[in-house]
Amino acid sequence: NNSGIFFGYMSPACEGFFGHSFEEIEENPNLFLSLIQPEDAENFYKSMEVSSKQKRPLFWEGRMQIKDRTIWLNCLARPEELGDGSILWDGILTDSTARKTAEKERDFMEIQLRHGQKLESIGQLAAGVAHEINTPVQYVGDNIPSGRQRMHSAHTAQWTVRIYIDD
């Protein structure tokens, strides 16, 4: 539940991040929260809840949709319980889009490398099988002429023998 959330301060750099001025976000905190990608919002709220209950720093990484682009943000914040029971979060947001893009490219390259290694292994296996097939085929091919001569001689001798038998 994000009721009761307000922002007491945001650095001027946040306007560059979010495309909204501090005044706009201060007036409507849900404007900031609506930028969080729906797939990441539940994790954001759960991280805040755990951090506030355990009084431990919040670390959250997720995506925000800023106009026509999606950015990745890291949030590191320290919760402080105030006298009225509310939580004051003091933290920083950093743009981790470049790192996430590089990680995605690295993952893609690793997949391509594994695929290449599999193809190389298949090629080596195929070469080995071809060698195993070619060796006996080559042996047979090399011995066909002499086998033909022997068969011809045997056939002739047999024929000759038949001639002698028939006479």
More confident residue, 127 or 43: 43
How would residue 160 be classed by pLDDT, with cut points 50, 70 and 90?
Answer: very low
Cβ within 8 Å of residue 70, ≥6 positions away:
37, 63, 64, 97
Q: In whole angstroms, what is the distance from residue 1 CA to residue 17 CA?
A: 24
Two tokens at 20? 């909204």
pLDDT, position 61: 94
pLDDT of residue 166: 47
pLDDT of 163 strictly over 60:
no
Average pLDDT over residues 153-159: 46
The predicted-structure confidence for 63-119, as pLDDT tens digits, reads as follows: 999 888 898 989 899 988 889 888 888 888 888 888 888 888 888 888 888 887 888
Q: Which residues pair with 19 in a beta bridge?
A: none
Query: What is the pLDDT, as a whole number, of residue 3?
Result: 54
Query: Is 0.75 surpassed by the pTM of this model?
Result: no
Q: What pLDDT digit, counting tens, does each position of 29-50 carry?
A: 888 888 999 999 999 999 989 9
pLDDT, tens only, 130-152: 777 777 767 666 766 665 555 55
Residue 164 above 50 pLDDT? no
Q: What Cα–Cα distance (Å) separates residue 114 from each residue in 60, 103, 120, 121?
A: 31, 16, 10, 10
